[in-house]
Structure 1
Amino acid sequence: MSYQNIFDRKNSAELYANYRPRFSQEVADSVINFLRLNKSSFRLMVDVGCGSGQSTDMLAPYFDEVLALDISKHQIAEAIARNQHSHVEYVVGKAEEIPSNDRSVDLVLVGMAVTFFDLPKFFKCVQRVLRPGGCLIIFGHKSPSLRVKIGGVAMSKEHNEFATALLDAFLLAGKSSIRALHDEVYSKYSNTFRTIPSSVKSRDEVKQVQKDWSMDDLKGYIRSTDTDDLSTSKFADRKCCDFSDFFEEQILKNTGVQNSKQVTFDLTLDIFMIRAVF
């Protein structure tokens, strides 16, 4: 399965840019504190699989130069349109072919994309471009847990569990090729961690809460989870847009509310991080 085929459509890139969660300062702090403890320099960061630039934008203020690449020309077009940093360059490119000079990069960053890479080729490229003592940081998160509120008032634990389970059931659906990617994410990148060719590697975790998402926000997030490949017996023939409407119907039914504008959600993301020094 091709990473390019999954996200390289204009509509998918727009949804991704508009509705994927932005990362918190706590995530940035975890990355920067690790680099400082490692006495790294902050000359050049490369963000691989940058999508529309969420993780690039988070860390760009800390570096003299940033190169961000993604195999999807539509994701890169969105990132360029939204870029507000003069020292950040977005380019179309493969993770296994980082267009940087040998031993020139201080940080290679990967957020939520590593499951699509050819890991042996990617790690070989990382070894080539990193300066001695340079760092590789990979982070990801499982599907969010949801806290349901009606008119700003928190609903019961049962309502929260229903909404979270419903979202999980869709995001974890899919053909075997997609499911294999989800399994690696839900194992907190266990295979990726095991195969990193560095003896100096560790993990960190950050909990991030995003409050007061509207029903439209959450439906946009569902739609951004692109997928021609999502189809199971439980959700047969339900593509993302259809499922977002189904999700809304089920939440209204479960809460007994008629107007979805009364419904908001707090999202909790458990972000896990792999750090390695080369």
Structure 2
Amino acid sequence: MRLYLGKLLRKVTNKHLFANQGHAELYLKYRPTYPDSLISRIIEYLHQGRVDNKPDGLAVDVGCGSGQFTRSLGQHFDRVIGVDVSESQLASARLVPRSNIEYLSGSGESIPVSNGSTDLITCAMCIHWLDFPKFCDEVQRVLKPNGCIAAFGYEMQCCRVNGKKVEKIEEAYNKLIQEKTKPYWTPNRKHVFNGYADIQLPFENNKRDNSHVINQEIMLSDFIGCIQSLSFYQSYIKDNPEEQEAAILFQQRVLEILGVDTPPHLTPVTMYLPVFMIMAQKPASQ
């Protein structure tokens, strides 16, 4: 059964989950970047419905956060607008300026661009937070004929070592991160768990592509920072200020398991996150 997100998500959508300046700084510093193959696939999909060779004009990145994916779009479009409800996130995004990128306050339910102006709308890890029927109306309004929407994300997973899973580290992750934060998982997260399988974008020709992977060699401290940037983790530490932070305990446990005496910022691990994506194209006749 296809699920159109609506009242269920409306109750738990809360821009204040992402409004804290410290949280925005964690986003900017630690959130992973999507692979080049992902944006190449989106651009390919956008072009396949065209009968002309006009350049790509405007892309709008809804829920842009601190602008990681927005900046990737800037390499492919004449103009890019990043939209977010959090002024703190927008302030972080503006710390990395690009001449053809603008960051505006707005939302998926009220996209601050004119009718029929947009070639591409992207939603990186945010569509499950939106009032979906209102968002679909906005997509219909702002996209040009043959314009596209792409929504994608990943489920946070345990770090690997030299690209391989380590059972004891997986066990520590489940105990210290998953179990402690589970009470703070909102109903929205089920759509992340199932890879947006229940979400049907407006327009009939929905296309799914789960072939991309975030596969990056990073330092353990960076992985810990990524955990700390998650909204449900922020809710957990807010409710447990006296408890030793779960991410720090996990970091210590990883160092013990690896049997190393290097500091976390010099201890390499692998971030391996399969990416799920759904795309749709507005018909030429609309």
What is the TM-score when the length of structure 2 is the normalising length?
A: 0.83
Tell me the equivalent position of 1:3. 14
| Gap change, CA 1:137 and 1:172, over 3 Å in 2 | farther
Task: State the match for 2:4 in structure 1.
Answer: none
| Cα pair 1:106 1:134 within 8 Å, conserved | yes
Question: 2:7 is matched with which residue?
Answer: none
Q: Distance in 1 between matches of 2:84 and 2:234?
A: 20
Displaced runs of 4+ in structure 1, greater than 6 A? 238-241
* Cα offset, 1:202, TM superposition: 0.8
For residues 44-63 of structure 1, the aligned pairs below 5 Å read 44-63=58-77
Displacement of 1:45 in angstroms is 0.5
Matching residue's letter, 1:11: G
Give 1:21 shift.
0.4
Determine the C-alpha separation between the residues in 2 that align with 1:91 and 1:197.
24
> 2:204 matched to which residue of 1?
199
Shift of 1:214: 1.6
Aligned partners of 1:170 and 1:76: how far apart in 2?
32
Q: How many Å separate the matches in 1 of 2:151 and 2:29?
A: 23
Q: Name the structure where helix makes up a greater proportion of residues.
A: 1
Aligned residue in 1 for 2:112: 99
> Structure 1: which 5+ runs fail to align?
none
How big is the shift at 1:170? Answer: 5.5
Amino acid across the alignment from 1:221: C
Aligned-residue sequence identity (percent) comes to: 30
* Structure 2 residue 27 is the aligned partner of structure 1 residue 16: yes
In structure 2, relative to structure 1, the CA distance for the partners of 1:159 and 1:48 (3 Å cut) is same
1:155–1:107 distance in 2 versus 1, CA, 3 Å: closer
Deviation at 1:15, TM superposition (A): 0.6
1:187 corresponds to which letter in structure 2? N
Matched to 2:72, the amino acid is: M
Q: Is the 8 A contact 2:109 2:138 kept in 1?
A: yes
Structure showing the higher strand proportion among its residues:
1
Q: TM-score scaled by structure 1?
A: 0.86
Matching of residue 179 in structure 1 with residue 192 in structure 2:
no
Unaligned runs of 5+ residues in structure 2 are 1-11
